[in-house]
Amino acid sequence: MISIDDAWEILSSLKDIGIRLANFYWDELPKLLELAQQSRLTVYDSSYLLLAKKINAILVTADEDLKKERRKNRTSDTNKGYIELLIISSSANKHCIAGQSII
């Protein structure tokens, strides 16, 4: 277990590299539950997918179920809001969410 001081230092480092926190709100819960039911993913996994769609980001994951869901829902427009396997854009204006994989 790490100390409180070490934990704060780590959290400060995350802030310094530009990681943003995003929230879910109560009014988004029906959409989350619907996505989980339609995709047959857990609510936990679906929350990553919904968040990626919400902030127009690419979700980075090694989770097989999430990858399968992406293949089922591939669209002809952009990949934003969907899942890429371990691919991080070098573009500074794109957001990237690390789901099951820590990169």
Domain boundaries, the chain: 19-100
Is 85 a residue whose pLDDT tops 50? no
pTM to 2 decimals?
0.57
- pLDDT, tens digit, for every residue of 55-79? 887 777 777 887 777 666 654 444 4
Q: Which of 33, 34, 77, 25 has its CA nearest to residue 54?
A: 25
The end-to-end CA distance of the chain, in Å, is 22
| CA atoms in the 13 A half-sphere facing the CB of 15 | 6
Model confidence pLDDT, tens digit, residues 26-55: 999 999 999 999 988 899 888 888 888 888
Give strand pairing partners of 84: 60
pLDDT at 74: 55
Q: Pick 79 or 21 by higher pLDDT.
A: 21
